[in-house]
Amino acid sequence: MRFASDGFGWKITAYTILLGVKTVIVTSFLSYPVALLYLGGGRLLRRFLLAVIILPLLIGTVVQTFAWVVILGDQGPINNLASWLGLISSPIRLLNNEASLVVQLAQSEMAIMVLALLTVLLRVDPFLLEASTSLGAGPWRTLFRIIMPLSMPGFAAGAIIVFAGAVSAYFSQAIIGGGRLVYLPQYMNNQVSVLFNWPFGAALAVVFTLAVLATITMFALVTRRSAAYVHD
Amino acid sequence: MTDLVAVPRLQREGLTYRILLRAIAGFAILLLLAPIVVVLLVSLTSGLALKFPPPGFSLRWYAALFDSAQSRPIQRAALHSFEIAVSATVVAAVLGTMAALAIGRSRSAWARALDILFVMPLVVPSLAYGLAALMYFTLLGFGGSLPLIVIGHVIIVVPFIIRTTSAGLSQLDANLLDSSASLGAGAFFTFRRVTLPIIAPGIAAGAFIGFMASFDNVPVSLFLSDARTEVLPMRMWGMLQTNLDVRTAAVSGLITITALTLLMVMDRLFGLDRQLR
């Protein structure tokens, strides 16, 4: 099989999996505070937050990716603001780098993560948190020792979908990433649609699927292991 | 013994905790809102470029979108996307509901295996699946056509339907079915008058999300659609790549406005925050 002897293929597979992992990390970092804000918020704040979280799901990835092309573009708000403040003299290139891609993916996947966290955390007994505080635990301790372990099932479910979404987000990868950044989906499509090398494309598809499933399985095993430490 | 030093320390900790948490949450909310605000404002630009903030406001790009002389391909692509999403959702709703019913009733290992198999499309890279579908259809001797894309999209929609319908089914009390049967109702009558009304919200929710997923899908359409059966996301992609066409902003604006309206309707009908329980 050509894939095995092709170093490029392995490299791209690794980069693609890594892109998924990075997206999961950034998405979780942003999602926990939003979920906690929702939990502690009043009725009005909750309604507002829920609308903000659900809206991206309804709008879809194509429109949002397009929006990010404008936001990160040479004439977009970031470049305009920076030059207005006198920080830069000519527009800086924000598109076609991985940091931008990860932020964009995190934005479009955040809804799934927050909702997954909330479905679990809304069932947690609020007295548990009060008990933790009244026993002298600081808020950080409560967060890391009580809230986060309890949210594990929701986090695991959310992380798997976010990961799967990020690695196969062909549209975002090609448009926000683009240029020199090539991930497996694009490499695969290139082989099939441009070079008409269907067998190699199919081999890539199999490798891709196996790599994703292997990562997800490994992750599921790890989170199950750590969830076992939580007594309920 | 009470630790007298601990109290101020905890208060200080509480303050940094709250500030940090709110800062990150605020940034996250900004990220979530930014695309929506930018799309709506840029779609109203009076200029010729995708510039933000726009130099002035006008409805010219929406007008251009509805002018069939210059926007015929976009309108056709939008129509294709709509037709595909509607057909795929209808087919998937029927198939998905039947599958959920069968899986819900059975306690066998096969049913559990099938349950996992049916939600696989949610995690398996859809691009790999799109290529597989293309190769399969080509082996059978079919070329790109709308019915084939619909078949491809059914696989995208089905997991959502099965998920939400199964959730609805788990709320169905088996005693209801027994009493319906003991009162002399046939299996079909029971389904129509007892089961269906109870699981209908689940099916509707799945159909709604599935419709959106199909309308928004790129990876499967990428392989299955061609020039004659072009769908909206592919068309938008083409317009973005060639000349950063401002009409893409108008298309995005329309989709955003539709989503906003749907959100408000859903909130009125179901009360969104009551669903999260």
DSSP string, A214-225: HHHHHHHHHHHH
Instruction: Give residue B9's pLDDT band: very low, low, confident or very high (50, 70, 90).
Output: low
Residue B25 and residue A34 in contact, taking contact as beta carbons nearer than 8 Å: yes
pLDDT of residue B227 exceeding 80, the answer is: no
pLDDT for residue B5: 54
Write the DSSP string, B96-134: HHHHHHHHHH--SHHHHHHHHHHHGGGTS-HHHHHHHHH
Report the candidate in B238, B71, B215 with the shortest Cα–Cα distance to residue B150: B215
Tell me the count of A-B CB pairs closer than 8 A. Answer: 205
Measuring CA to CA, how many Å separate B260 from each of A59, A230, B80, B205? 8, 40, 23, 17
pLDDT in tens, A160-200: 889 988 988 888 888 888 777 888 888 888 888 788 888 88
Averaged pLDDT for residues B31-40: 91
Residues 6+ positions from B53 with CB-CB distance below 8 Å: A77, A80, B41
Work out the pLDDT band at A232, boundaries 50, 70, 90: very low
Contact B128 A206 (CB under 8 A): yes
What pLDDT sits at residue A133?
Answer: 73
A40 interfaces chain B, CB cutoff of 8 Å: no
Does B263 lie at the interface with A, CB-CB under 8 angstroms? yes
- Percentage of chain A beyond pLDDT 90 is 14
Q: What is the largest CA-CA distance in chain A?
A: 66
- What is the band of B274 on the pLDDT scale with cuts at 50, 70, 90? low
What distance in Å separates the CA atoms of residue A106 and residue B177, rounded to the nearest whole number? 45
pLDDT score recorded for residue B87: 94
CA distances from B272 to B182, B205, B208, B275 (A): 38, 12, 14, 5
Whether pLDDT at A227 is above 60: no
pLDDT band for position B8 (50/70/90)? Answer: low
Locus of tokens 């490029």: A8
Write out residues 52-91 of B within 8 Å (CB-CB) of A. 52-53
B226 and chain A in contact, CB less than 8 A: no
Q: What is the mean pLDDT of chain B?
A: 82
Contact B126, B156 (CB under 8 A): yes
Out of A46-60, A102-116, A128-142, A208-222, pick the least confident. A128-142
The alpha carbon of residue A162 and the mean position of all alpha carbons in its chain are separated, in whole angstroms, by 5
Alpha helices in A41-76 (DSSP H): 43-59, 61-72
- Which A residues in the span 88-127 are in contact with B, Cβ-Cβ below 8 Å? 103, 106-107, 110-111, 115, 118-119, 122
Q: Is A202 on the interface with B (CB under 8 A)?
A: yes
C-beta atoms of B128 and A189 within 8 A: no
Structure tokens at B137: 């259809």
Predicted ipTM of the assembly? 0.85
